[in-house]
Amino acid sequence: MFDSKRDGLRAITLSMGNSRMNYILLLDFLIDTEKDVNLLVEKGKIFDCQGDNAALSNIFNKLGLHVTPSYFGYYEVVEKLKAHYDNCWNHSKATLKRVYFSDPWIGTGTVAAALLLLLTLVETVCSILQVL
């Protein structure tokens, strides 16, 4: 590891292989907050031996600050993730799943309420058509 001073901050040039540096930069892209670290730890993608997820997110956010790779191997993956995130339909599906279908009872209640609303609408339309 080689340290140099630039603009009062430490610019760190890591003498690692390109694939390891790319992986660190990918994790830097994925991790912005403590919640991101919590999710990756829960899914078993990273292991937090410190037990402090806020510190781990801080480490990853500072690691990639002053590193510019000559080749970023995960560029296509990052672009696909950005496109997926920017799609408002994906946000709607995630909210629907998280809020209305988080467990079987809430999902059953949601379907029953929607069906009841639909049947009420059909009954109203039939009653209006019968009067006319």
Q: Is 104 a member of any domain?
A: no
DSSP labels, the chain = -EEEEETTEEEEE----HHHHHHHHHHHHH-SSHHHHHHHHHTTSS--SSS-HHHHHHHHHHHTTT---S--TTHHHHHHHHHHHH-HHHHHHHHHHHHHSSSHHHHHHHHHHHHHHHHHHHHHHHHHHHH-
| Confidence check: pLDDT of 6 > 70 | no
Could you tell me the pLDDT band of residue 127, with boundaries at 50, 70 and 90?
Answer: very high
Q: Is 109 a member of any domain?
A: no
Q: Is 92 a member of any domain?
A: no
Could you tell me the pLDDT band of residue 103, with boundaries at 50, 70 and 90?
Answer: very high
| Confidence check: pLDDT of 87 > 80 | yes
Q: Is 110 a member of any domain?
A: no
**Which domain, by its residues, includes 14?**
2-86
Q: Is 124 a member of any domain?
A: no
pLDDT tens digits, 21-37: 778 888 888 888 889 89
Q: Is 101 a member of any domain?
A: no
Q: Is 116 a member of any domain?
A: no
Count CB-CB contacts under 10 A for residue 56. Answer: 23
Number of independent structural domains in the chain:
1
Q: Which residue has the higher pLDDT, 78 or 66?
A: 78
| Confidence check: pLDDT of 64 > 50 | yes
The pLDDT of residue 1 is 37
